[in-house]
Amino acid sequence: MFKRLAVVVSTLVLHACSSNPIPSNAMPVFQTRISPSGLKHFELRYQMAREPGAERPNQGRSRDGRSGRQSNPAKMYENTRKQMTAQAERMIEENRYCRTGFWVLNFEMNRSPRLRGECHEIATEQDRERFPDTIQNW
């Protein structure tokens, strides 16, 4: 219980201390893929929640028209990668997709950030039943 609380608090502090390229109305989407040989892959991305009446032209901008993003792209990239890795750790702790940990295979910041990873263990039959393939393009 204490470990989970510590993870949540540290994530909130990290989140508050950095300019976040992930909009506050974005919802995390966790998808899975188990290869025929048993490799367990996952993808974490963010999907924008639609807000009624939201104006598209100024979306993500402050009142003075600035975007609010960091001026250092490398720092923004690294902060976003850390945030998404922490989010993946939380989600995997809840859904138990990876039992013995994972490593990050790929991280991209195109239209929306995307993190792809692979579990350290091979899938069991129970994993195949519990986690259907939901990733369309791997």
pLDDT tens digits for range 83-127:
999 999 999 999 999 999 999 999 998 878 999 999 999 999 999
Please report how the helices 73-95 and 2-17 are oriented relative to each other, as an axis angle in degrees rounded to 10: 160
- The predicted pLDDT at position 22 comes to 77
| Residue 31 in this model has a pLDDT that exceeds 60 | yes
- The predicted pLDDT at position 70 comes to 54
Exposed / middle / buried, residue 117 (Cβ in 10 Å: 0-12, 13-18, 19+):
buried
- Cβ neighbors of 124 (< 8 A, separation 6 or more) are none
- The predicted pLDDT at position 133 comes to 96
- The predicted pLDDT at position 51 comes to 58
- Tell me what percent of the residues of the chain surpass a pLDDT of 90: 57
Instruction: Classify each residue of 20-54 as buried b or exposed e, where b means 16 or more C-beta atoms within 10 Å of its C-beta.
Output: bbbeeebeeebbbbbeeeeebbbbbbbeeeeeeee
- The predicted pLDDT at position 53 comes to 54
